[in-house]
Amino acid sequence: MRIDASESLLPPPLIIPRPQHSLSRKDVQVEALKVLYRLYHAGYKAYLVGGSVRDLLLGKTPKDFDIVTDARPGEIRKLFRNSRIIGRRFRLVQVFFRGAHIVEVSTFRRRSEFEEDQDQEVPSSRDNTFGTPAEDAQRRDLTINGLFYNIADFSLVDYVGGLKDLQSGLIRVIGDPAVRFVRDPVRMLRVLRHGARLGFAIDAQAWEEIRSKRHLIRLCPPARVRDELLKDFHSGASRPFLELMLASGLFYSIFPAWEPRLGQEGEARLLALCHRLDLLVQAELSLADSLIWAVFLTPYLEQGPRPQNLKELREFLQEAAQEAFQGSEIPRQRQEELVQILGLAEKLAPLLRQKRAIPVRLSRLATYPEAWLFCQIKEAPLVELVERCRPEEIPVRVPQPKRRRPRRRRSRNRGPRRPTEP
């Protein structure tokens, strides 16, 4: 066990013995238990950490199980032949199991990688990267995500007051929100995300700091903000998340072009469409990113006139998408796909309303299934939406007809031609 003098400067943890909490080993993934026990029997600390501990204490099933230890990445790699080291500055180990199960194991760290990027005075060395359990807990974003489950005695280790906040239903930032949001503004999105998903109240200090520092989100790489937003669209809680985004002003900091255009009617339409997306996600239906962005863009398009000519409509959709998404880097391919979905949906919508047959030339287009699904998300009765959008109900794209190669006439083999006589 490695001991660091800096750990003595932090308050001692609250240790909750097994009889006083509800987390049980039988709810932990078998593969994660194997990793925990191998590290423990090799003489290292081994803690389950983060969202998995939070979800298990709330009676939910975690999507993945993350583990932290005082073993260095090279030492972890020697213990698990079925593993690999990933990352450059902050290296962690992925342990592979049958059935495509992956357990990620990281070494206790002093600070977040995004804080490290902000701190130019601290050299980027391995000694400054690795830390203690107390430091690892302090670097995390929220108190409810800073709980450890110790496999040695099945106790909970709480350095940040996470258990009390979990029991109180409170989202609270570890440390001073004013400092933490400046060092990594994406933390503001995570505060709203967990408040929306769990239905927890947000700490008043954190909420005020989000409102006053929402403009800092523009300093983050747009691609990183885009990926964070996609997590929420795929979470099944995008409506409450966007309600918090609109109330805090963070939404218009990311999408400034929307503020003069949406208004109350547009905001209500956006929330209604996101509620429909949530119903489909909660029913475990798979939705393509391009379809989600097309649905998201719809209220923006509906708040202004649009051309009726199909050629002009396509140009209008391309310009509107570029203008609307200027605060986040939507890949060009995704933008092209969503323009195709929206353009094709314009043709499909009147046919579906009148229950007319879809022309074969439309059903052969690459985005036909997504455009059909888009029309259902927009217009299907809410009580019928999930049933209409099940995979077996979505029409399959008609394959393009095979082009027959022109048949070449074979000349008869009459042998070499005889030279003509003079």
Catalytic residues, which ones?
Answer: 64, 66, 141
CB atoms within 10 A of CB 47: 26
CA distances from 189 to 52, 65, 139, 275, 327 (A): 20, 22, 17, 19, 15
Total residues belonging to the chain = 422
CB atoms within 10 A of CB 177: 22
Q: Which residue has the tokens 């949530």?
A: 278
Distance of alpha carbon 316 from alpha carbon 308, whole angstroms: 10
Cα atoms in the Cβ-side hemisphere of radius 13 Å centred on 300: 22
Residue 125 φ then ψ, to 5° = -120, 165
Token code pair at residue 3? 């001991």
Ordered DSSP codes for 5-31: GGGGGSPPPEEE-GGGS---GGGS-HH
Q: Can you state the angle between helices 310-324 and 332-353, rounded to 10 degrees?
A: 130
> Residue 290 contacts by C-beta under 8 Å, 6 or more apart in sequence?
334, 337, 338, 341, 367, 370
The radius of gyration of the chain's CA atoms, rounded to the nearest angstrom, is 28
